[in-house]
Structure 1
Amino acid sequence: MISARRRAAGVFGMSVVGMIGMLTACAPNASPNPTPTPTLAAFLIDRDFADPEVIEASGQYVAFAINARGGNVQFATSNDLAHWTGSLEDALPKLPRWASGGRTWAPDVSARAGGDYIMYFVANQFPSDKQCIGVATSPVVTGPYTPVGEQPLVCPLDEGGAIDPATFTDDDGIRYLLWKNDGNCCGQDTWIQIAPLSPDGTQLAGPPTKLFTQTEPWEGQLVEAPVLVKRDGQYVLFYSANDYATSDYAIGVATAPALMGPYVKSGTPLLSTESSGGRYIGPGGQDIVTTADGDVMLFHGWDELLIYRGLLSVPLHWDGAVPSVQLP
């Protein structure tokens, strides 16, 4: 059974005109000069490039994304986070034996102490037909990455599987892996979870801790896509929520004084279709990149015909541990 998050674009029941019209429509007797339809933001990568993961390495930025065009993990490079060059190569050309092709999602890439790179990825575990998290390594940031181990790294089948891996290194140097159990695939709650990693990153070094589940009205039936940073002594966890296939999908934030929580949600999305005035449709799958000019949040959003999700970005500003975005 395919998770509701990644069904094909053909499931949409409302066009972009309908979505934006909900934001701008006027009553029949309203002013003859209605609010103009908002202009969608221009994509940095104008093709299917969902769930972006961005890393700075070897003097450039590399963005990885969900499977497309027959490959497992696509990538693109940039010198400035604004102009991107896509590659025809596959960063993960060969899946492990436990995985079947076609549903390779949400890669996370980071450097290891020895100078090589490690990738956490999501793939379909055979024969359960649920999504699980695997690990692969490469001496070069763009790959090709080679899978490690005979079994998935995280695969809680009784919780619906696991998707959306993300790494975080705390001040003491201990690395952690965050993910979301894919409970919405099978009528269960979804939880953002975290566990410590072994020094080489290829194994979990302790049991997972559940940080939070869907509780806010705007989140709908799920929370996912965790990204954790630390600012002003607080742990700030960015996440996406609601149905990715609609304009209700949005980016939220939760903060905690300690790594394991308790996390307090902001209550309203950091970025949504509504808060952007329709400039972004269903923003989500975010990543945070720190540059000399400040932090940038990269994310995906739908095109005007709801066919694909392209790459977008906004500057991220901080007031202590409270983030905000400044729309162009």
Structure 2
Amino acid sequence: MTLRLRRVAAASLALAAAATLVSCSAGAGEGATEAAPDAASESPFAPVIDEDFPDPDVLATDDGYVLYATNDSRRNVQVARSADLVEWEVLDDDALPELPDWVIPGKTWAPEVTEVAPGQFVMYTTTTNFSPSRQCIAVATAESATGPFVVQGDGMLVCPDEEGGAIDASTFRDDDGSLHLVWKNDGNCCGLDTWLQTAPLSADGLSLTGPPVRLLKQDLAWEGDLVEAPTLVKRDGVYHLFYSANSYGDETYAVGHATAPALTGPWTKDPEPFFSTDSTDGALIGPGGQDIVTDAAGDDVFVFHAWDPDFLARKVYTLPLVWDEGTPRVVVP
């Protein structure tokens, strides 16, 4: 059943041809303490989900689009649906209503859902493991894109204790049909480096079929002490890795971008953020937790969250993502 219908106009994709193209950076997490930077009183950016709905992941289905988000006080995984990526219906249902006894409830973050076969959906979520007591990645399945998903197995799919755990899973399907999991080891929890890593998945998405390969870590000044929230796409034979970096709870959170000729690298980072608070003159604060989805017209859409001015909610926004001779750019109004 549904709780309410969100009918908030998104920044129109029709503005793409006339809008200014810029690059910037973003991120995700919970809580915040710093004051918001100055922003225009009349923002040109309107959220498509005007409430706390962080770490958005969007799945395109035959029936439209489904968006998943980090837990709130009532649901382990929030979920919404849309026919057009503009008007979103936030569902009252919990997409992951039950957690196993080896999970500590209360922190079910950054869900990622992929359809591994018609009518077979797999969800990867960041959850807190009892032993070792780390944030790690669990896997769940459902026969409907909106759930209910059921956690599979008797333990985490990815949980490297010596690396601080693992969070922020995403999936990537290569041109040969192979499915891959991409994630971040949670090294910033304990003074370690944070590596974005990948490993091949079984056809059913329930197990890794090879060892992880490290792709890149935090090594630029703007990234602070972490990189996270990887999103991997391939365009014209080039692999593009988008990621969030720095402190999710303030305006330093931003999105980075790197490219590689092969999935395992070598990866070359852009030196500056791809999308950030500065990219929007402070109108969007700490954008990040990004995803990329292709709409019905075949155009890419950049989906992300950003803080409200009081740092009380991370709302969901969408903007066109265009490719200028192989270089991605977010179109801002």
TM-score (norm 2): 0.89
For the 8 Å contact 1:40–1:304, the answer to whether it is kept is no
Determine if the alignment matches structure 1 residue 314 to structure 2 residue 319: yes
Measure the CA separation in 2 of the matches of 1:114 and 1:203.
Answer: 19
1:195-240, Cα deviation, whole Å (9 max, x unpaired)? 0001111000000000000011111110000010001110000100
Query: 1:1-328 residue pairs with structure 2 within 5 A?
Result: 6-9=29-32, 12=33, 14-16=34-36, 19-20=37-38, 39=43, 41-291=45-295, 292-328=297-333
Asked if 2 retains the 8 angstrom alpha-carbon contact of 1:39 and 1:278, the reply is no
Which residue identity does 1:225 align to in structure 2?
Answer: A
Task: State the distance in 1 between where 2:198 and 2:154 align.
Answer: 22
Distance in structure 2 (CA, Å) of the matches to 1:283 and 1:116: 31
RMSD of aligned residue pairs (Cα, Å):
1.5
CA contact (8 A) 2:228 2:243 kept: yes
8 A contact 1:97–1:150 mirrored in 2: no
In structure 1, list runs of 5 or more residues that go unmatched: 22-35
Match of 1:31 in 2: none
1:129–1:20 CA distance, 2 compared to 1 (3 A): farther
CA distance in 2, matches of 1:96, 1:174: 29
Within 2, Cα distance between the matches of 1:215 and 1:286?
20
Say which is worse superposed, 186-195 or 318-327, in terms of deviation.
318-327
Change in Cα spacing, 1:66 to 1:133, as seen in structure 2 (3 Å) is same
1:129-172 deviations in whole A, cap 9, x for unaligned? 31000100000010000111001000011111100000001111
Please state how far the C-alpha of 1:97 moved relative to its aligned partner: 2.5
* Aligned partner of residue 275 in structure 1, secondary structure: helix
Higher relative contact order (CA 8 A, sep 6+): 2
Q: How many Å apart are 1:326 and its aligned residue? A: 1.1
Identity %: 51
The answer on whether the counterparts of 2:28 and 2:289 sit within 8 Å (CA) in structure 1 is: no
C-alpha displacement of 1:8: 2.6
What secondary structure, in the 3-state scheme, does the structure 1 residue paired with 2:136 have? strand
How many equivalent residue pairs?
306
Instruction: Supply the distance in 1 between the matched residues of 2:325 and 2:120 (Cα, whole angstroms).
Output: 34
Aligned mates of 1:320, 1:143 — CA distance in 2: 39
TM-superposition CA deviations, 1:112-141 (whole Å, max 9, x none): 125311101110001433100010000001
Unaligned 5+ runs, structure 2: 1-26
SS across alignment from 1:201: coil
Following TM superposition, by how much is the alpha carbon of 1:37 offset from its aligned partner in structure 2, in angstroms? 5.8
1:28 corresponds to: none
SS of the equivalent of 1:218 reads helix
Report SS of the residue matched to 1:237.
strand
Amino acid at match of 2:179: R
Structure 1: how far apart are the matches of 2:175 and 2:132?
38
Specify the SS of the correspondent of 1:6: coil
Name segments (4+ residues, structure 1) moved above 3 Å: 4-7
Q: Is the 8 A contact 2:28 2:253 kept in 1?
A: no
Higher gyration radius (CA): 1
2:28, 2:288 within 8 Å by CA — same for their partners in 1? no
